[in-house]
Amino acid sequence: MSVDGELIWPDAAEWTGKIHSEGWRTAEGGTLRVFEPAGGEQLAEVGLAGAADVERAGARAARAAPGWAATTVSDRVDVLMRADRALRERSGAVREWIVRETGGVPAKGDYEITAGLAQLRNAVGLASQPPGEVLVPQVPGGTSLAWRVPLGVVGVITPWNAPLLFAMRALAPALVLGNTALLKPDPLTPVSGGVLVARLFAEAGLPEGVLHVLPGDAATGRAVAADPHVAMISFTGSTEAGREVARIAGEGLKRVSLELGGKNSIVVLEDADVEAAAVAGAMSSFGYQGQACVAAGRHVVHADVVDAYTEALVRHAKAMPVGDPRDEGVALGPVISERQAARIARIVDLSVDAGARVLTGGIRKGLFYPPTVLDRVERSMPAFREEIFGPVAPVIPFRHENEAVEIANDTAYGLAAAVHSRSVPRATALAQRLRTGMIHINDVSAKNAANAPFGGMGISGNTSRIGGTASLEAFTQWRWMTAPGPS
């Protein structure tokens, strides 16, 4: 919580200028200042992990790994359950950190907390899954067993847009399955994505050495990916950065799980409930300023209803106030950085120069970018081709279902999509033709569930999935053992 605007949990005296690696330690890499997007004031100062910090943390996590893996499943489950309780008890302070550090409105903070709790609970259930198989032996009376064992040290590199959620999404299953971890949160959100995570697990009684939190920049991420003690990298972020992480990790033949960007379509058929589709479209493109990999980057709408849909989408966009996320009634806060604001403006401005039309929005004020609807969008325009990662909804009409499928699939990405129709069988049939890892019928494109395999096709990932039982495969490896029968 805060007093007169000052955030008082966790106690800054404990962690200011430090990293978490068997306690709070001064970082070899120096310090990193954290600023509030809405007002620009400094919120915190954390340690900046350098190469020596990563090397030391990797070695200590490797030493802790056998002991942690040897603990009982019930002991590891108890830690996650206590982390769940700690997050619930600290939810007010956690929400405020998320709002002030990410620029999201309070509802966004509540969503991250709820989703983070779901990840912890799902991981608790994951621990009770059968650990292996009894195989048919190759010799009479023999034994042949195969079971899953921890990987060892897992490196988790998370982005700024949902820092708490994405940390929990990887750490909860990795830890409960017996791995130790190095967590590298984004330099824009090292508190809600790192410091808070370290404090919550410390309050849960996680043994020292099991989790190391190493805030840092791209150089820190490269060091984590390259560290010889790290067996696996779980990375969430841009496709460009994911490629670099994969190259570095590939040199060490590490397992890599990549959850990357998307250019996601909402397809609206002529028999859809247009108002409901527009509500879903507005939520998908404008929620958290459009800064989500699963945000809708294309609204592919049948020509018979495109005018009605666009009118409704514009109406919803105009009804979403933009401002300081702590102010009552604000729907959209600032985007995360000047770099991101400039990127959004560039994509919109270049598309308008090429003939697109702004129906609402389109003019930024500092880091505040209003909900924006574009029509007359052609396939050659940046608004069609690029992942915008901002509150922009390009509308593209179509006449026939084959054309809708072609438009939606005209991208190297393949993360998520939504299809709207009053006929669920019809929508489902069309959805099956879309090249995406996740499909939602009569709903938003931006969905997440702890028990679902989350991930995409194409350059949205490397065919890996995280969530539900997919996490069992992601964070363990098989061991096979045989024994002869009686002689």
Length of the chain: 487
Q: Does the active-site annotation cover 406? A: no
- Given strand 143-150, what is the order of strands in its sheet? 132-134, 143-150, 476-483
Residue 29: CB atoms within 10 Å: 22
Which of 127, 88, 132, 101 has the alpha carbon at shortest distance from 34? 101
Distance CA 35, CA 101 (A): 7
Q: Please report where in the chains the tokens 């769940």 appear, as a residue.
A: 84
DSSP assignment letter at 163? H
257 CA to centre of own chain: 12
Distance CA 75, CA 206 (A): 10
One of 293, 338, 378, 403 is an active-site residue; which one? 293
One of 259, 311, 338, 473 is an active-site residue; which one? 259
Return the CA Rg of the chain.
23
Cis omega (within 30 of 0) for bond into 10: yes
66 CA to centre of own chain: 29
Residue 299: CB atoms within 10 Å: 30
Distance CA 361, CA 373 (A): 7
Give whole-number Cα distances, 3 to 9, 93, 191, 225, in Å.
Answer: 10, 11, 18, 39
Distance CA 67, CA 206 (A): 12
Residue by residue, DSSP assigns 119-131 as HHHHHHHHTTS--
Pairing label, strands 42-47, 132-134: unpaired
Which of 27, 29, 20 has the alpha carbon at shortest distance from 60? 20
Q: Does the active-site annotation cover 401? A: no
The percent of the chain in helix, strand and coil, each rounded to the nearest 5, is 40, 25, 35
| Token pair in block for residue 83 | 């982390």
DSSP assignment letter at 458? E
Residue 472: partners with Cβ closer than 8 Å, 6 or more residues away: 126, 129, 148, 173, 177
Residue 248: partners with Cβ closer than 8 Å, 6 or more residues away: 222, 225, 226
Q: Write out the catalytic residue numbers.
A: 259, 293
